Structure 1
Amino acid sequence: MNTRFATSESPQPDGNAISDAPLVIVTGMSGAGRTTTANVLEDLGWLVVDNLPPQMLEPLAELRHSSLERRPEVAPRRVAVVVDVRSRGWFAHLQEAIDAATDRGERPSVLFLDATDEALVRRFESVRRPHPLQGRGRLLDGIQRERSLLLDLRSSADVVIDSSGLNVHQLAAKLTSIFAGDRKVQLRVAVMSFGFKYGLPLDADVVLDMRFLPNPYWVPELKSLNGQDEAVAEFVMRQAGAEEFLDRATDLLETMIEGYIREGRRYVTVAIGCTGGKHRSVATAEALSARIGQPEGVDTFIVHRDLGRE
Protein backbone atom coordinates (compact mmCIF):
# COMPACT_ATOMS: atom_id res chain seq x y z
CA MET A 1 0.00 0.00 0.00
CA ASN A 2 1.44 3.39 -1.02
CA THR A 3 0.48 6.53 0.87
CA ARG A 4 1.17 9.90 -0.79
CA PHE A 5 1.07 13.01 1.37
CA ALA A 6 0.19 16.32 -0.25
CA THR A 7 2.91 18.94 -0.03
CA SER A 8 0.52 21.89 0.03
CA GLU A 9 -1.79 22.83 2.84
CA SER A 10 -5.06 20.94 2.77
CA PRO A 11 -7.84 23.32 1.66
CA GLN A 12 -11.02 23.77 3.61
CA PRO A 13 -13.97 21.71 2.40
CA ASP A 14 -16.20 23.50 -0.05
CA GLY A 15 -19.95 23.21 -0.53
CA ASN A 16 -20.06 21.06 -3.62
CA ALA A 17 -21.03 17.45 -2.99
CA ILE A 18 -18.12 15.16 -3.86
CA SER A 19 -15.55 17.96 -3.65
CA ASP A 20 -16.87 18.70 -0.15
CA ALA A 21 -16.73 15.09 1.01
CA PRO A 22 -14.08 14.41 3.68
CA LEU A 23 -13.51 10.93 2.23
CA VAL A 24 -13.68 9.99 -1.45
CA ILE A 25 -13.24 6.50 -2.87
CA VAL A 26 -11.60 6.49 -6.29
CA THR A 27 -12.31 3.28 -8.16
CA GLY A 28 -13.21 1.99 -11.60
CA MET A 29 -11.68 0.16 -14.51
CA SER A 30 -7.96 -0.53 -14.59
CA GLY A 31 -6.39 1.80 -17.14
CA ALA A 32 -9.24 4.33 -16.99
CA GLY A 33 -7.29 7.04 -15.16
CA ARG A 34 -7.10 6.23 -11.45
CA THR A 35 -3.43 7.22 -11.24
CA THR A 36 -4.09 10.56 -12.94
CA THR A 37 -6.97 11.15 -10.54
CA ALA A 38 -4.76 10.42 -7.54
CA ASN A 39 -2.13 12.84 -8.82
CA VAL A 40 -4.69 15.61 -9.41
CA LEU A 41 -6.17 15.24 -5.93
CA GLU A 42 -2.71 15.18 -4.39
CA ASP A 43 -1.82 18.42 -6.19
CA LEU A 44 -5.05 19.97 -4.84
CA GLY A 45 -3.99 19.22 -1.29
CA TRP A 46 -5.76 15.95 -0.60
CA LEU A 47 -4.18 13.10 1.32
CA VAL A 48 -4.20 10.21 -1.17
CA VAL A 49 -3.88 6.55 -0.18
CA ASP A 50 -3.32 4.17 -3.09
CA ASN A 51 -4.46 0.52 -3.27
CA LEU A 52 -6.16 0.51 0.11
CA PRO A 53 -7.84 -2.76 1.18
CA PRO A 54 -11.55 -1.97 1.76
CA GLN A 55 -11.34 -3.34 5.29
CA MET A 56 -9.02 -0.43 6.15
CA LEU A 57 -11.60 2.27 5.38
CA GLU A 58 -13.00 2.33 8.93
CA PRO A 59 -9.57 2.50 10.66
CA LEU A 60 -8.56 5.26 8.24
CA ALA A 61 -11.70 7.26 9.05
CA GLU A 62 -11.08 6.80 12.78
CA LEU A 63 -7.48 7.94 12.36
CA ARG A 64 -8.62 11.06 10.55
CA HIS A 65 -11.20 11.89 13.23
CA SER A 66 -8.72 11.45 16.08
CA SER A 67 -6.15 13.60 14.24
CA LEU A 68 -8.70 16.37 13.78
CA GLU A 69 -9.48 16.28 17.50
CA ARG A 70 -5.83 16.28 18.65
CA ARG A 71 -4.14 18.50 16.06
CA PRO A 72 -6.73 20.05 13.73
CA GLU A 73 -4.20 22.52 12.32
CA VAL A 74 -2.18 19.75 10.63
CA ALA A 75 -4.74 16.95 10.24
CA PRO A 76 -5.81 16.09 6.66
CA ARG A 77 -9.26 17.51 6.07
CA ARG A 78 -9.89 15.71 2.80
CA VAL A 79 -8.80 12.16 2.11
CA ALA A 80 -9.05 10.11 -1.08
CA VAL A 81 -8.45 6.38 -1.28
CA VAL A 82 -7.88 4.39 -4.44
CA VAL A 83 -9.60 1.01 -4.11
CA ASP A 84 -9.60 -1.44 -7.01
CA VAL A 85 -9.16 -5.04 -8.09
CA ARG A 86 -5.44 -4.98 -7.35
CA SER A 87 -6.46 -5.89 -3.78
CA ARG A 88 -7.71 -9.19 -5.25
CA GLY A 89 -10.18 -11.01 -3.01
CA TRP A 90 -10.34 -8.13 -0.55
CA PHE A 91 -11.96 -5.92 -3.20
CA ALA A 92 -15.18 -7.93 -2.85
CA HIS A 93 -15.66 -6.29 0.58
CA LEU A 94 -15.77 -2.71 -0.78
CA GLN A 95 -19.56 -2.40 -0.92
CA GLU A 96 -19.76 -3.91 2.56
CA ALA A 97 -17.31 -1.26 3.80
CA ILE A 98 -19.32 1.53 2.14
CA ASP A 99 -22.55 0.22 3.70
CA ALA A 100 -20.90 0.09 7.12
CA ALA A 101 -19.70 3.68 6.76
CA THR A 102 -23.22 4.72 5.72
CA ASP A 103 -24.65 3.08 8.83
CA ARG A 104 -22.16 5.12 10.89
CA GLY A 105 -23.44 8.29 9.21
CA GLU A 106 -20.26 8.96 7.24
CA ARG A 107 -20.77 7.45 3.80
CA PRO A 108 -17.80 8.20 1.53
CA SER A 109 -18.42 9.64 -1.93
CA VAL A 110 -17.51 7.38 -4.84
CA LEU A 111 -15.79 8.50 -8.04
CA PHE A 112 -15.84 5.86 -10.78
CA LEU A 113 -13.40 5.99 -13.73
CA ASP A 114 -14.56 4.18 -16.86
CA ALA A 115 -13.48 3.73 -20.48
CA THR A 116 -14.45 1.59 -23.44
CA ASP A 117 -12.91 -1.85 -23.91
CA GLU A 118 -11.16 -0.57 -27.03
CA ALA A 119 -9.53 2.31 -25.16
CA LEU A 120 -8.45 0.07 -22.29
CA VAL A 121 -6.93 -2.53 -24.61
CA ARG A 122 -5.00 0.20 -26.40
CA ARG A 123 -3.65 1.62 -23.14
CA PHE A 124 -2.59 -1.74 -21.73
CA GLU A 125 -0.87 -2.65 -24.97
CA SER A 126 0.98 0.67 -25.04
CA VAL A 127 2.52 0.04 -21.59
CA ARG A 128 2.93 -3.72 -22.22
CA ARG A 129 1.48 -4.72 -18.87
CA PRO A 130 -1.08 -7.46 -18.16
CA HIS A 131 -4.50 -6.73 -16.74
CA PRO A 132 -4.76 -7.54 -12.99
CA LEU A 133 -7.53 -10.09 -13.71
CA GLN A 134 -6.16 -11.42 -16.99
CA GLY A 135 -4.53 -14.56 -15.58
CA ARG A 136 -3.71 -16.94 -18.43
CA GLY A 137 -6.47 -15.55 -20.63
CA ARG A 138 -6.55 -12.68 -23.08
CA LEU A 139 -6.29 -9.02 -22.10
CA LEU A 140 -9.91 -8.53 -23.11
CA ASP A 141 -10.94 -11.41 -20.83
CA GLY A 142 -9.50 -9.58 -17.84
CA ILE A 143 -11.19 -6.31 -18.82
CA GLN A 144 -14.59 -7.95 -19.23
CA ARG A 145 -14.20 -9.83 -15.95
CA GLU A 146 -13.43 -6.58 -14.15
CA ARG A 147 -16.34 -4.76 -15.80
CA SER A 148 -18.71 -7.47 -14.60
CA LEU A 149 -17.39 -7.18 -11.04
CA LEU A 150 -17.80 -3.39 -11.02
CA LEU A 151 -21.25 -3.17 -12.59
CA ASP A 152 -23.20 -2.53 -9.37
CA LEU A 153 -20.55 -0.20 -7.99
CA ARG A 154 -20.65 1.92 -11.15
CA SER A 155 -24.42 2.28 -10.97
CA SER A 156 -24.26 3.61 -7.40
CA ALA A 157 -21.26 5.93 -7.84
CA ASP A 158 -21.70 9.64 -7.13
CA VAL A 159 -19.70 10.66 -10.22
CA VAL A 160 -18.81 8.57 -13.30
CA ILE A 161 -16.14 9.85 -15.71
CA ASP A 162 -15.56 8.28 -19.10
CA SER A 163 -11.92 8.87 -20.05
CA SER A 164 -12.06 7.01 -23.38
CA GLY A 165 -11.49 10.04 -25.58
CA LEU A 166 -9.52 12.14 -23.10
CA ASN A 167 -5.77 12.50 -22.92
CA VAL A 168 -4.04 12.90 -19.55
CA HIS A 169 -4.25 16.70 -19.64
CA GLN A 170 -7.94 16.76 -20.56
CA LEU A 171 -8.78 14.29 -17.80
CA ALA A 172 -6.77 16.32 -15.28
CA ALA A 173 -8.63 19.50 -16.29
CA LYS A 174 -11.97 17.76 -15.90
CA LEU A 175 -11.04 16.43 -12.46
CA THR A 176 -9.73 19.80 -11.34
CA SER A 177 -13.01 21.44 -12.30
CA ILE A 178 -14.83 18.96 -10.05
CA PHE A 179 -12.53 18.97 -7.03
CA ALA A 180 -10.95 22.44 -6.94
CA GLY A 181 -14.01 23.74 -5.14
CA ASP A 182 -15.91 27.02 -5.22
CA ARG A 183 -18.54 27.81 -2.62
CA LYS A 184 -20.52 29.88 -5.10
CA VAL A 185 -20.77 27.09 -7.67
CA GLN A 186 -23.87 24.93 -7.29
CA LEU A 187 -23.56 22.90 -10.48
CA ARG A 188 -20.70 22.15 -12.87
CA VAL A 189 -21.74 21.46 -16.46
CA ALA A 190 -19.35 19.81 -18.89
CA VAL A 191 -20.31 20.57 -22.49
CA MET A 192 -18.61 17.90 -24.59
CA SER A 193 -18.38 17.73 -28.38
CA PHE A 194 -17.86 14.28 -29.86
CA GLY A 195 -18.05 12.27 -33.07
CA PHE A 196 -20.69 9.57 -33.35
CA LYS A 197 -18.31 7.45 -35.40
CA TYR A 198 -16.07 7.19 -32.33
CA GLY A 199 -18.93 6.15 -30.04
CA LEU A 200 -21.19 7.81 -27.48
CA PRO A 201 -19.54 9.21 -24.32
CA LEU A 202 -20.25 6.77 -21.50
CA ASP A 203 -20.73 9.54 -18.94
CA ALA A 204 -23.17 11.66 -20.96
CA ASP A 205 -26.32 12.75 -19.10
CA VAL A 206 -27.78 14.56 -22.13
CA VAL A 207 -26.99 13.81 -25.81
CA LEU A 208 -27.75 16.26 -28.63
CA ASP A 209 -27.33 15.33 -32.31
CA MET A 210 -26.18 18.01 -34.77
CA ARG A 211 -26.17 15.78 -37.85
CA PHE A 212 -29.37 17.43 -39.07
CA LEU A 213 -27.25 20.40 -40.23
CA PRO A 214 -25.17 20.46 -43.44
CA ASN A 215 -21.63 19.24 -42.84
CA PRO A 216 -18.82 21.82 -43.35
CA TYR A 217 -16.55 18.87 -44.12
CA TRP A 218 -17.90 18.92 -47.68
CA VAL A 219 -17.09 22.61 -48.17
CA PRO A 220 -13.51 22.68 -49.57
CA GLU A 221 -12.41 25.88 -47.81
CA LEU A 222 -13.80 24.66 -44.45
CA LYS A 223 -12.77 21.00 -44.53
CA SER A 224 -9.38 21.53 -42.87
CA LEU A 225 -10.77 23.93 -40.25
CA ASN A 226 -12.80 23.07 -37.14
CA GLY A 227 -15.72 24.46 -35.17
CA GLN A 228 -13.48 26.77 -33.16
CA ASP A 229 -12.61 28.68 -36.31
CA GLU A 230 -14.84 31.68 -36.97
CA ALA A 231 -15.57 30.71 -40.59
CA VAL A 232 -16.88 27.28 -39.56
CA ALA A 233 -18.88 28.66 -36.62
CA GLU A 234 -20.55 31.22 -38.89
CA PHE A 235 -21.33 28.56 -41.50
CA VAL A 236 -22.93 26.28 -38.91
CA MET A 237 -24.95 29.00 -37.17
CA ARG A 238 -26.43 30.44 -40.36
CA GLN A 239 -27.91 27.11 -41.44
CA ALA A 240 -31.69 26.74 -41.28
CA GLY A 241 -32.70 25.49 -37.84
CA ALA A 242 -29.37 26.16 -36.12
CA GLU A 243 -30.37 29.24 -34.12
CA GLU A 244 -33.78 27.76 -33.34
CA PHE A 245 -32.06 24.61 -32.07
CA LEU A 246 -29.77 26.67 -29.83
CA ASP A 247 -32.72 28.60 -28.41
CA ARG A 248 -34.71 25.48 -27.62
CA ALA A 249 -31.70 23.56 -26.29
CA THR A 250 -30.87 26.49 -24.01
CA ASP A 251 -34.42 26.65 -22.66
CA LEU A 252 -34.47 22.89 -22.10
CA LEU A 253 -31.10 22.79 -20.35
CA GLU A 254 -31.91 25.78 -18.15
CA THR A 255 -35.04 23.98 -16.95
CA MET A 256 -33.04 20.81 -16.34
CA ILE A 257 -30.27 22.72 -14.55
CA GLU A 258 -32.78 24.19 -12.12
CA GLY A 259 -34.05 20.67 -11.44
CA TYR A 260 -30.55 19.23 -11.05
CA ILE A 261 -29.74 21.86 -8.43
CA ARG A 262 -32.98 21.17 -6.54
CA GLU A 263 -32.20 17.44 -6.55
CA GLY A 264 -28.66 17.96 -5.30
CA ARG A 265 -26.84 17.05 -8.52
CA ARG A 266 -23.48 18.75 -8.74
CA TYR A 267 -21.99 17.52 -12.01
CA VAL A 268 -23.66 17.04 -15.42
CA THR A 269 -22.27 16.21 -18.86
CA VAL A 270 -24.05 17.52 -21.96
CA ALA A 271 -22.70 15.72 -25.04
CA ILE A 272 -23.13 17.28 -28.47
CA GLY A 273 -22.35 15.04 -31.42
CA CYS A 274 -21.83 15.19 -35.15
CA THR A 275 -20.24 12.68 -37.50
CA GLY A 276 -16.57 13.23 -36.70
CA GLY A 277 -16.64 15.64 -33.77
CA LYS A 278 -14.76 18.34 -35.69
CA HIS A 279 -17.12 20.95 -37.13
CA ARG A 280 -20.82 21.09 -36.18
CA SER A 281 -20.58 19.64 -32.67
CA VAL A 282 -17.59 21.81 -31.77
CA ALA A 283 -19.21 25.04 -32.98
CA THR A 284 -22.47 24.21 -31.22
CA ALA A 285 -20.72 23.24 -27.97
CA GLU A 286 -18.92 26.58 -27.93
CA ALA A 287 -22.13 28.52 -28.56
CA LEU A 288 -24.27 26.53 -26.13
CA SER A 289 -21.66 26.70 -23.35
CA ALA A 290 -21.63 30.49 -23.58
CA ARG A 291 -25.40 30.57 -23.11
CA ILE A 292 -25.90 28.12 -20.25
CA GLY A 293 -22.86 29.35 -18.36
CA GLN A 294 -24.47 32.70 -17.64
CA PRO A 295 -26.70 31.86 -14.61
CA GLU A 296 -25.06 32.50 -11.23
CA GLY A 297 -23.94 29.33 -9.52
CA VAL A 298 -23.42 27.36 -12.75
CA ASP A 299 -19.84 26.65 -13.83
CA THR A 300 -19.59 25.53 -17.46
CA PHE A 301 -16.50 24.19 -19.19
CA ILE A 302 -15.90 22.65 -22.60
CA VAL A 303 -14.30 19.36 -23.60
CA HIS A 304 -13.76 18.63 -27.31
CA ARG A 305 -13.33 14.87 -27.07
CA ASP A 306 -12.56 13.98 -30.67
CA LEU A 307 -11.10 17.20 -32.03
CA GLY A 308 -7.80 16.40 -33.72
CA ARG A 309 -8.54 12.74 -34.37
CA GLU A 310 -9.08 13.30 -38.08
Structure 2
Amino acid sequence: MPIPSSFIIPDPIYICGPTASGKSAFAIELAQRLDGEIVNADAYQLYRGLEIISAAPDAAELSQAVHHLYGVLDPSETCDAMRYREMALPVIADIQSREKVPIVTGGSGMYLKFLTHGPSPVPSGDELLRAELDKESDAELVRRLSELDPEGAAMTNLKNRRYVIRALEICLLSGRKMSEVKSDWKKAGEAIEKDLRGAYLLWDRETLRQRINRRAEIMLDSGAIEEVAALIDTSITCEKAIGVPQIRSYLAGDLSRDECAERIAAATRQYAKRQRTWFGKESWLTECQVDASDPISRVVDRFCESSI
Protein backbone atom coordinates (compact mmCIF):
# COMPACT_ATOMS: atom_id res chain seq x y z
CA MET A 1 0.00 0.00 0.00
CA PRO A 2 1.62 3.32 -1.05
CA ILE A 3 2.29 5.97 1.57
CA PRO A 4 -0.03 9.00 1.09
CA SER A 5 1.70 12.13 -0.20
CA SER A 6 0.55 14.00 2.93
CA PHE A 7 2.27 11.49 5.23
CA ILE A 8 5.18 12.93 7.19
CA ILE A 9 7.71 10.29 8.24
CA PRO A 10 8.62 10.83 11.91
CA ASP A 11 12.40 11.10 12.37
CA PRO A 12 13.97 8.81 14.98
CA ILE A 13 15.15 10.31 18.25
CA TYR A 14 18.28 8.80 19.81
CA ILE A 15 18.75 8.57 23.59
CA CYS A 16 22.39 7.93 24.50
CA GLY A 17 24.59 7.95 27.56
CA PRO A 18 26.73 5.82 29.84
CA THR A 19 25.56 2.83 31.80
CA ALA A 20 23.24 3.70 34.73
CA SER A 21 22.43 7.15 33.36
CA GLY A 22 18.66 6.56 33.20
CA LYS A 23 18.24 6.09 29.44
CA SER A 24 15.32 3.66 29.78
CA ALA A 25 13.30 5.97 32.03
CA PHE A 26 14.01 8.92 29.74
CA ALA A 27 12.96 6.94 26.65
CA ILE A 28 9.70 5.78 28.27
CA GLU A 29 8.79 9.31 29.31
CA LEU A 30 9.53 10.59 25.80
CA ALA A 31 7.62 7.74 24.14
CA GLN A 32 4.54 8.50 26.21
CA ARG A 33 4.64 12.17 25.25
CA LEU A 34 5.32 11.72 21.54
CA ASP A 35 3.33 8.55 20.83
CA GLY A 36 6.60 6.80 20.24
CA GLU A 37 7.94 3.27 20.35
CA ILE A 38 11.31 2.33 21.83
CA VAL A 39 14.01 0.51 19.88
CA ASN A 40 16.88 -1.09 21.78
CA ALA A 41 20.46 -0.09 20.92
CA ASP A 42 22.24 -1.94 23.72
CA ALA A 43 24.38 -4.82 22.47
CA TYR A 44 23.57 -7.11 25.39
CA GLN A 45 19.90 -6.29 25.91
CA LEU A 46 19.40 -7.92 22.50
CA TYR A 47 19.96 -11.30 24.22
CA ARG A 48 17.50 -13.54 26.00
CA GLY A 49 18.74 -14.71 29.37
CA LEU A 50 20.85 -11.61 30.07
CA GLU A 51 18.05 -9.40 31.37
CA ILE A 52 19.60 -8.88 34.82
CA ILE A 53 23.22 -8.62 33.67
CA SER A 54 22.33 -6.11 30.95
CA ALA A 55 19.85 -4.15 33.13
CA ALA A 56 17.16 -4.61 30.47
CA PRO A 57 13.77 -2.96 31.10
CA ASP A 58 11.69 -4.99 33.54
CA ALA A 59 8.05 -5.99 33.11
CA ALA A 60 6.75 -2.76 34.66
CA GLU A 61 8.87 -0.65 32.30
CA LEU A 62 7.96 -2.73 29.25
CA SER A 63 4.27 -2.20 30.01
CA GLN A 64 4.62 1.60 29.83
CA ALA A 65 5.58 1.79 26.13
CA VAL A 66 6.02 -0.45 23.12
CA HIS A 67 9.56 -1.89 23.09
CA HIS A 68 11.42 -3.55 20.21
CA LEU A 69 14.61 -5.66 19.90
CA TYR A 70 14.83 -6.73 23.53
CA GLY A 71 15.64 -10.40 24.13
CA VAL A 72 15.52 -11.30 20.43
CA LEU A 73 18.81 -13.22 20.18
CA ASP A 74 19.78 -16.57 21.67
CA PRO A 75 22.95 -16.39 23.83
CA SER A 76 24.65 -18.74 21.36
CA GLU A 77 24.35 -16.18 18.53
CA THR A 78 27.03 -13.65 17.70
CA CYS A 79 26.22 -10.06 16.88
CA ASP A 80 28.06 -6.98 15.66
CA ALA A 81 27.25 -3.44 14.58
CA MET A 82 26.40 -4.46 11.02
CA ARG A 83 23.99 -7.19 12.08
CA TYR A 84 22.38 -4.79 14.53
CA ARG A 85 21.87 -2.23 11.75
CA GLU A 86 20.21 -4.88 9.57
CA MET A 87 17.89 -5.78 12.47
CA ALA A 88 17.04 -2.23 13.51
CA LEU A 89 16.39 -0.52 10.17
CA PRO A 90 13.23 -2.50 9.26
CA VAL A 91 11.90 -2.10 12.81
CA ILE A 92 12.35 1.67 12.61
CA ALA A 93 10.74 1.77 9.15
CA ASP A 94 7.73 -0.17 10.44
CA ILE A 95 7.29 2.24 13.37
CA GLN A 96 7.48 5.19 10.98
CA SER A 97 4.95 3.58 8.61
CA ARG A 98 2.44 3.65 11.47
CA GLU A 99 3.14 7.36 12.09
CA LYS A 100 4.80 6.62 15.43
CA VAL A 101 8.10 8.14 16.56
CA PRO A 102 11.03 5.67 16.79
CA ILE A 103 12.95 6.32 20.00
CA VAL A 104 16.27 4.49 19.79
CA THR A 105 17.99 4.09 23.13
CA GLY A 106 21.20 2.44 24.27
CA GLY A 107 24.82 2.88 25.15
CA SER A 108 26.52 0.82 22.45
CA GLY A 109 28.27 3.59 20.53
CA MET A 110 29.38 1.60 17.50
CA TYR A 111 25.94 0.03 17.06
CA LEU A 112 24.37 3.50 17.09
CA LYS A 113 27.04 4.86 14.75
CA PHE A 114 26.37 2.16 12.16
CA LEU A 115 22.64 2.84 12.46
CA THR A 116 22.85 6.62 12.11
CA HIS A 117 25.83 7.01 9.75
CA GLY A 118 25.92 3.72 7.88
CA PRO A 119 28.65 1.07 7.87
CA SER A 120 32.21 2.19 8.30
CA PRO A 121 34.28 1.96 5.09
CA VAL A 122 37.19 0.70 7.20
CA PRO A 123 37.87 -2.95 6.25
CA SER A 124 37.48 -5.62 8.89
CA GLY A 125 40.56 -7.32 10.24
CA ASP A 126 42.44 -10.01 8.32
CA GLU A 127 43.95 -12.70 10.55
CA LEU A 128 46.62 -13.77 8.06
CA LEU A 129 47.79 -10.21 7.40
CA ARG A 130 47.75 -9.41 11.10
CA ALA A 131 49.86 -12.50 11.82
CA GLU A 132 52.41 -11.37 9.22
CA LEU A 133 52.56 -7.85 10.61
CA ASP A 134 52.90 -9.17 14.12
CA LYS A 135 56.24 -10.76 13.17
CA GLU A 136 57.77 -7.32 12.60
CA SER A 137 59.43 -5.17 15.25
CA ASP A 138 57.76 -2.06 16.66
CA ALA A 139 60.27 0.14 14.83
CA GLU A 140 59.63 -1.56 11.49
CA LEU A 141 55.84 -1.26 11.89
CA VAL A 142 56.13 2.45 12.67
CA ARG A 143 58.46 2.96 9.70
CA ARG A 144 56.04 1.25 7.30
CA LEU A 145 53.03 3.21 8.57
CA SER A 146 54.95 6.50 8.37
CA GLU A 147 55.86 5.76 4.75
CA LEU A 148 52.38 4.61 3.69
CA ASP A 149 50.39 7.21 5.59
CA PRO A 150 52.31 10.06 7.28
CA GLU A 151 49.07 11.80 8.29
CA GLY A 152 47.69 8.57 9.72
CA ALA A 153 50.90 7.96 11.65
CA ALA A 154 50.57 11.40 13.21
CA MET A 155 47.02 10.48 14.33
CA THR A 156 48.08 7.15 15.82
CA ASN A 157 49.59 6.37 19.21
CA LEU A 158 52.82 4.88 17.84
CA LYS A 159 53.70 3.40 21.22
CA ASN A 160 50.64 1.17 21.04
CA ARG A 161 51.63 -1.77 18.84
CA ARG A 162 48.02 -2.89 18.33
CA TYR A 163 46.98 0.55 17.04
CA VAL A 164 49.90 0.67 14.61
CA ILE A 165 49.12 -2.80 13.24
CA ARG A 166 45.46 -1.88 12.80
CA ALA A 167 46.38 1.33 10.95
CA LEU A 168 48.65 -0.65 8.63
CA GLU A 169 45.91 -3.23 8.09
CA ILE A 170 43.53 -0.51 6.90
CA CYS A 171 46.12 0.89 4.50
CA LEU A 172 47.06 -2.48 3.03
CA LEU A 173 43.54 -3.92 2.79
CA SER A 174 41.84 -0.81 1.42
CA GLY A 175 44.68 0.32 -0.84
CA ARG A 176 44.20 3.81 0.57
CA LYS A 177 45.63 5.86 3.39
CA MET A 178 43.91 5.15 6.69
CA SER A 179 43.67 8.90 7.33
CA GLU A 180 41.81 9.40 4.01
CA VAL A 181 39.35 6.59 4.70
CA LYS A 182 38.46 7.99 8.12
CA SER A 183 38.33 11.57 6.84
CA ASP A 184 35.87 10.63 4.08
CA TRP A 185 33.59 8.87 6.59
CA LYS A 186 33.76 11.86 8.91
CA LYS A 187 32.78 14.28 6.12
CA ALA A 188 29.89 12.07 5.05
CA GLY A 189 28.81 11.86 8.68
CA GLU A 190 28.79 15.63 9.11
CA ALA A 191 26.25 15.92 6.30
CA ILE A 192 24.06 13.23 7.88
CA GLU A 193 24.21 14.78 11.35
CA LYS A 194 22.33 17.89 10.25
CA ASP A 195 19.14 15.82 10.29
CA LEU A 196 19.79 13.78 13.46
CA ARG A 197 18.19 14.44 16.84
CA GLY A 198 19.20 12.92 20.12
CA ALA A 199 19.92 13.34 23.82
CA TYR A 200 23.16 12.58 25.66
CA LEU A 201 22.45 12.07 29.38
CA LEU A 202 25.19 13.56 31.55
CA TRP A 203 25.68 12.95 35.26
CA ASP A 204 28.20 14.27 37.73
CA ARG A 205 30.96 11.64 37.64
CA GLU A 206 30.92 10.88 41.36
CA THR A 207 27.15 10.47 41.39
CA LEU A 208 27.30 8.18 38.37
CA ARG A 209 30.07 6.21 40.06
CA GLN A 210 27.82 5.65 43.08
CA ARG A 211 24.91 4.62 40.87
CA ILE A 212 27.13 2.08 39.09
CA ASN A 213 28.38 0.65 42.39
CA ARG A 214 24.80 0.27 43.65
CA ARG A 215 23.75 -1.35 40.39
CA ALA A 216 26.44 -4.04 40.77
CA GLU A 217 25.15 -4.95 44.23
CA ILE A 218 21.51 -4.92 43.11
CA MET A 219 22.42 -7.08 40.12
CA LEU A 220 23.89 -9.79 42.34
CA ASP A 221 20.99 -9.56 44.79
CA SER A 222 18.44 -9.85 41.98
CA GLY A 223 19.56 -13.16 40.48
CA ALA A 224 22.50 -12.32 38.20
CA ILE A 225 24.52 -15.22 39.62
CA GLU A 226 21.76 -17.69 38.79
CA GLU A 227 21.32 -16.05 35.38
CA VAL A 228 24.97 -16.59 34.46
CA ALA A 229 25.00 -20.12 35.89
CA ALA A 230 22.15 -20.98 33.50
CA LEU A 231 24.12 -19.82 30.45
CA ILE A 232 25.50 -22.90 28.74
CA ASP A 233 26.14 -22.42 25.01
CA THR A 234 27.20 -18.78 24.73
CA SER A 235 28.77 -16.84 21.87
CA ILE A 236 31.92 -14.73 22.08
CA THR A 237 29.70 -11.65 21.99
CA CYS A 238 27.57 -12.83 24.90
CA GLU A 239 30.60 -13.74 27.00
CA LYS A 240 31.85 -10.13 26.75
CA ALA A 241 28.88 -8.76 28.69
CA ILE A 242 30.08 -7.09 31.87
CA GLY A 243 29.19 -9.38 34.75
CA VAL A 244 29.46 -12.66 32.87
CA PRO A 245 33.24 -13.27 33.24
CA GLN A 246 33.25 -11.91 36.79
CA ILE A 247 30.39 -14.15 37.92
CA ARG A 248 31.93 -17.13 36.17
CA SER A 249 35.06 -16.54 38.29
CA TYR A 250 32.88 -16.34 41.41
CA LEU A 251 31.13 -19.61 40.49
CA ALA A 252 34.54 -21.24 39.97
CA GLY A 253 35.54 -20.19 43.49
CA ASP A 254 38.20 -17.75 42.32
CA LEU A 255 36.44 -14.67 43.73
CA SER A 256 34.41 -13.91 46.82
CA ARG A 257 30.99 -12.33 46.36
CA ASP A 258 32.32 -8.93 47.45
CA GLU A 259 35.26 -9.21 45.06
CA CYS A 260 32.87 -10.17 42.28
CA ALA A 261 30.68 -7.11 42.95
CA GLU A 262 33.70 -4.81 42.98
CA ARG A 263 35.09 -6.21 39.74
CA ILE A 264 31.72 -5.80 38.04
CA ALA A 265 31.49 -2.22 39.31
CA ALA A 266 35.08 -1.45 38.23
CA ALA A 267 34.54 -2.87 34.74
CA THR A 268 31.29 -0.91 34.45
CA ARG A 269 32.98 2.33 35.53
CA GLN A 270 35.69 1.80 32.90
CA TYR A 271 33.03 1.15 30.27
CA ALA A 272 31.10 4.27 31.32
CA LYS A 273 34.28 6.31 30.90
CA ARG A 274 34.67 5.00 27.35
CA GLN A 275 31.00 5.77 26.66
CA ARG A 276 31.40 9.36 27.89
CA THR A 277 34.39 9.79 25.60
CA TRP A 278 32.49 8.34 22.63
CA PHE A 279 29.25 10.27 23.03
CA GLY A 280 31.08 13.45 23.99
CA LYS A 281 32.46 13.51 20.45
CA GLU A 282 28.99 13.22 18.87
CA SER A 283 28.34 16.95 18.55
CA TRP A 284 24.85 16.44 17.09
CA LEU A 285 23.58 15.10 20.43
CA THR A 286 21.92 17.54 22.85
CA GLU A 287 23.61 17.34 26.24
CA CYS A 288 21.08 16.80 29.04
CA GLN A 289 22.37 17.31 32.57
CA VAL A 290 20.80 14.94 35.11
CA ASP A 291 21.05 14.68 38.88
CA ALA A 292 19.32 12.64 41.56
CA SER A 293 17.07 15.53 42.66
CA ASP A 294 15.89 16.22 39.10
CA PRO A 295 12.77 14.24 38.07
CA ILE A 296 13.23 12.58 34.70
CA SER A 297 10.12 14.40 33.48
CA ARG A 298 11.90 17.72 33.97
CA VAL A 299 14.97 16.50 32.06
CA VAL A 300 12.70 15.44 29.21
CA ASP A 301 10.99 18.87 29.37
CA ARG A 302 14.31 20.59 28.80
CA PHE A 303 15.22 18.28 25.93
CA CYS A 304 11.87 18.79 24.22
CA GLU A 305 12.07 22.56 24.59
CA SER A 306 15.53 22.70 23.02
CA SER A 307 15.38 19.95 20.40
CA ILE A 308 11.81 19.10 19.38
If the TM-score is normalised by the length of the shorter chain, which range does it land in? 0.3 to 0.5
| Bigger strand share | 1
Q: So what's the TM-score if we normalise by structure 2?
A: 0.40
Greater RCO, CA 8 A, separation 6+: 2
